Structure 1
Amino acid sequence: MKGMMLAADELGFKDWLAETEPHMLAHALDHASSEDRTQAMRALSAQRADRIFGLLEPVNQLDVLQSVDERTRRRLLHEMEPDDRARMLSDLPVAIGEALLQELTPDERATTRTLLDYPKHSAGRIMSPEFVRLTPGMTVSDALEAIRSGQKRAETVFLMPVADDDMRLLGTVDLAQIVLASPDMRIADLAGRDVPAVSVLDDQEKIARLMKSADLMIVPVVEEQDRLVGIITFDDAMEVLDFEEGEDFARSGATEPVGRPYLSVPVLRLVRARMVWLSVLAVAASLTVNVLNAFEATLESVVTLALFIPLLIGIGGNAGAQSATTIVRALAVSDVVPRDALRIAWLETRTGFVMGLGIATFAMILLSILFDPSIALVVSLTLVFICTLAALVGSLMPVAARVLSIDPAVFSAPFVTTVVDASGLLIYFMVARAVMGV
């Protein structure tokens, strides 16, 4: 917000509000205080306020709605895209969401409820039910007239679905085709099936990755019997990917995603997001304590072995985290699937072995100079085993999670590190017993 106030001082507050690019202005307002955000929204023209409001984070949209007068609140709600409105309402307590729904017109309320009735992570939640639908019997001239009359409420007209009178999807046609075609040419002759349709119940992330990989601006959304009910646009798909990647990033750090801007998150919500996994990891870490306790006599006879415990569990944990992070990402972008488990295991095992061999060779040379050769041999052999095991465990745990329908990010760096710590110590002491006879 400091940058916002500096900009306002230089240009004049109203000039800054009028001249700043919408996405940049929305970003600034998302990071502003509630009072400054409200002041800015009140100073904007109605048309620009509607545009900026739609770009704010849902939690900040609610803050604005609660601070403006009833007339402005109704206008802002009315001008929102149906899918954006549903996204905001889905994040609110039921009572507040229901109160805001009552301020919509009957048609808007029905449309929004329809979207909210779909499962949370389904295509139906992010689709836009407002689009220009062309029919196969239309001429190009008819289609242009339909576009002119429907473009105000439609989310996009760059690519439009073609459906019959029963709303059965027949294909799509893009605006460039229509503009370049002869006025009396029929839409049926222009429509193609190059753009795949998706089911209203399909997973959002799957659709978003399809759109990104195939470079699709929109995809039609259908129900049973290919009945057209909406479209998903590229910008909505990218929001899904941002959200999913944020979830994966949070869970890779052993915390739950909070789903809202950081500075707007209450302390107790942050504690709740982190405490559960911290407790799970604490329980898992007890394995390490048990291993140390079991080999207490070994440590007492060769105290020097204790010096290398932090080194070994650190390298093993990092090797496992590297592998887990790589496979979580590969699963997310569909580079690999669970049936590739054996190939993944073989590749990561070899990778871990070669890494361990390289580190062990360096360790053997250095430790032989500073310590007893038997200590150097124990540490070096352990490094080879730990790196190999860590890479294998780190690669297979996310795959197993996917098979069990658990988010693979859950079994990422911290969890893998904890498991590898305990197993690495077990390997260390077993190698010490074998080499040194302790």
Structure 2
Amino acid sequence: MTGNTLSGLLDEGDVAGLQRWLGEHPPHEIADELARADPVRAVLMFRLLDKDSALTVFEELDPGAQQNVLSGLRGKAFGDVVEGMDPDDRARLLGEAPAKFARRVLDGLSPRSRAMTAALLGYPEGSVGRYMSPRTVAIRGHLTAARALDVVRARGEEAETVYTLPVIDDHRRFLGTLELRDLVLSAPERPVTELADTKTPRVKATDDAEAAARLMQEANLLALPVVDSEDRVLGLLTIDDAVEVIEAADTEDVARQAAAAPLSGHYMSASVVQLARSRAVWLLLLIVAATFTVNVLQFFEATLEQVTTLALFIPLLVGTGGNAGAQAATAAVRALAVGEVRTRDLPRVAWRESRVGLVLGLMLAVVALGVGTLLVDFPIAVTVALSIVLVCCWAATIGATMPLVAKRVGIDPAVISAPLVTTIVDATGLIIYFLIARAVLAL
């Protein structure tokens, strides 16, 4: 209903109605509508926002939608937006933007903002340095609580957050963190070093951003200190940026597991061609991989000619094995992402999943044997039942271990997607099926 109302206002060019709609909705809903709209309509709505609301809405957009909006702004309006962005948000925008657009943004910045942005862009793509906020209030360890509060009041206006305060020595080396609540509630003369949490984890600016965000999730942190190679504080990874990192990583993993390339923007703003392009490459690769299944069928053609009834159960075996492998692969990718398993756990995971597959196979084999006996000869039913046991055991093992092997050799585990595992298990499962058939039926 909201989208239809907004669409009607845009179609009618009702400026007053649009301003009223924008004033009645929170920033995240406005940002979603901007991301859905075409660039012309997005710029129109954005121009109708007041300065403070415009910046809040703009920071809710993904970098692709931000580029669309900025491309339609000129002069002071353009400069106000890019100057008002947090340095880390600006660095992410420029990291994905074309060179010409990036130069235009940098030219519109003040020298101080340009320097901060350039410093963040100097870190590797995907590192914490690209996502951290350098605008922090660091507290010297020798200060008292009262003096530290004075520092927060004096410098807190420019900081992105003051709820977590890094504690440093005279050389800016990390000593711990101090929560604003503890600082406010402590005795004024108490030393900061007594209030600081010296066990707070920190990460280097070159560390992986997703790993740092997952660390924050596990440790229940609102902010994570980021340091350089000499343990000097550079900034903080804040919880809002950590959530964005995790969301982006999970979105990419879901796309990879579905055998598609991740989209960089809003689904509703993507064209049919963009959606097709994101899926076409993987489908072509899977077609090539599926030719192995055809080759297997050709190799065992003589076996099929002798007992044509075997062909009836090929879809059942292929589907069961593929599903078992896909389940194991999805569980392994998820466990790797959240740190529940590591590559050194490969033997344990293989042994664990082989037993899981065996249990599942035995359960399904009982059903298959009963149903198969009613439909076909008993020896063929036995062949199908034994095949299901071995195929499930093999599929679960290969599905769970392939992502770990990929991780060990430096490949994104999500690339070992469920469709790819399914395709591989299809072919190998048929080999198992026909070999068992030859043994049981004495072909």
Pick the TM interval, shorter chain.
over 0.9
Number of aligned positions between the proteins: 437
- Deviation, structure 1 residue 318: 0.5
**Matches of residues 85-124 of structure 1 in structure 2 within 5 Å?**
85-124=90-129
SS of 1:152's partner is helix
**Matches of residues 323-334 of structure 1 in structure 2 within 5 Å?**
323-334=328-339
Using structure 2 for the length normalisation, give the TM-score: 0.94
- Deviation, structure 1 residue 73: 0.6
1:14 matched to which residue of 2? 19
**Matches of residues 104-183 of structure 1 in structure 2 within 5 Å?**
104-183=109-188
Query: Aligned pair 1:262/2:267, yes or no?
Result: yes
CA contact (8 A) 1:4 1:28 kept: no
1:411 matched to which residue of 2? 416
In structure 2, what is the Cα distance between the partners aligned to 1:316 and 1:258? 30
- Deviation, structure 1 residue 402: 1.2
In structure 1, what is the Cα distance between the partners aligned to 2:276 and 2:44? 32
In structure 2, what is the Cα distance between the partners aligned to 1:434 and 1:184? 85
Q: Which amino acid aligns with 1:315?
A: T
- Deviation, structure 1 residue 15: 2.8
Using structure 1 for the length normalisation, give the TM-score: 0.95
CA contact (8 A) 2:164 2:178 kept: yes
Q: Which amino acid aligns with 1:96?
A: F
Q: Which amino acid aligns with 2:395?
A: A
Residue among 365, 368, 383 paired with 1:360: 365
Q: Which amino acid aligns with 2:38?
A: S
Q: Which amino acid aligns with 1:89?
A: L
SS of 2:262's partner is coil
1:51 matched to which residue of 2? 56
Q: Which amino acid aligns with 1:2?
A: G
CA contact (8 A) 1:394 1:412 kept: no
In structure 2, what is the Cα distance between the partners aligned to 1:420 and 1:116? 43
1:78 matched to which residue of 2? 83
CA change 1:14–1:155 in 2 (3 A) is same
In structure 2, what is the Cα distance between the partners aligned to 1:16 and 1:149? 38
Query: Aligned pair 1:198/2:203, yes or no?
Result: yes
Q: Which amino acid aligns with 1:53?
A: F
- Deviation, structure 1 residue 184: 3.3
- Deviation, structure 1 residue 38: 1.8
- Deviation, structure 1 residue 138: 2.8
In structure 2, what is the Cα distance between the partners aligned to 1:144 and 1:108? 26
**Matches of residues 266-305 of structure 1 in structure 2 within 5 Å?**
266-305=271-310
What's the CA shift string for 1:6-40, capped at 9, x where partnerless? 7979x943233123222222222222232332222
CA contact (8 A) 2:296 2:427 kept: yes
- Deviation, structure 1 residue 365: 1.1
In structure 2, what is the Cα distance between the partners aligned to 1:45 and 1:148? 28
In structure 2, what is the Cα distance between the partners aligned to 1:317 and 1:209? 30
Q: Which amino acid aligns with 2:135?
A: E
- Deviation, structure 1 residue 421: 0.6
CA change 1:4–1:29 in 2 (3 A) is farther
CA contact (8 A) 1:7 1:16 kept: no
2:3 matched to which residue of 1? 2
1:369 matched to which residue of 2? 374
In structure 2, what is the Cα distance between the partners aligned to 1:194 and 1:115? 26
Q: Which amino acid aligns with 1:348?
A: E
Query: Aligned pair 1:310/2:315, yes or no?
Result: yes
- Deviation, structure 1 residue 347: 1.6
Q: Which amino acid aligns with 2:433?
A: Y
Q: Which amino acid aligns with 1:97?
A: A
- Deviation, structure 1 residue 271: 4.1
Q: Which amino acid aligns with 1:413?
A: A
Q: How many percent identity over aligned positions? A: 45
Q: Which amino acid aligns with 1:155?
A: E
- Deviation, structure 1 residue 192: 2.4
SS of 2:198's partner is coil
CA change 1:61–1:229 in 2 (3 A) is same
- Deviation, structure 1 residue 3: 4.4
Q: Which amino acid aligns with 1:306?
A: A
- Deviation, structure 1 residue 269: 4.1
**Unaligned 5+ residue runs, structure 1?**
none
What's the CA shift string for 1:274-298, capped at 9, x where partnerless? 2332222222111111111111111
CA contact (8 A) 2:3 2:33 kept: no
- Deviation, structure 1 residue 432: 1.2
Q: Which amino acid aligns with 2:139?
A: L
More deviation, 141-150/302-311: 141-150
- Deviation, structure 1 residue 195: 1.7
CA contact (8 A) 1:320 1:420 kept: yes
- Deviation, structure 1 residue 152: 2.3
